[in-house]
Amino acid sequence: MREHKRKVGDRGQVTIPKELRDRQGIKGGDEIEFVETDDEIVIKPPTDKERLAEGYRERAERSQQLAEEMAPASSEATDRLGEAPGWSE
């Protein structure tokens, strides 16, 4: 972990080093979040909504794939054991 030091201006402004902005995808006009803990202030970059949405899509696709893969085993279990009591679809 590399430390970056900057001076705070009279109005409380600090410039985020370009290296960090580039690595975190922070651009001019972005809204960032400050999170205060007991002894730290954490600056969080903006959430990339498209990247977040893509992660949800991938998870939904994987869930569908798993359901399809499990269908034969589930059907076989139902044939052998019967319906689970109180189970409804």
pLDDT tens-digit profile of 12-23?
A: 999 999 999 998
Residue pLDDT, tens place only, 28-61? 888 888 999 999 999 988 777 776 787 788 889 9
CA distance 84 to 65: 23
List, in sequence order, the alpha helices (H) in 7-84: 18-24, 49-81
Average pLDDT over residues 64-72: 89
Task: Identify the CA nearest to 26 among candidates 9, 51, 50, 48.
Answer: 48
CA distance 51 to 67: 24
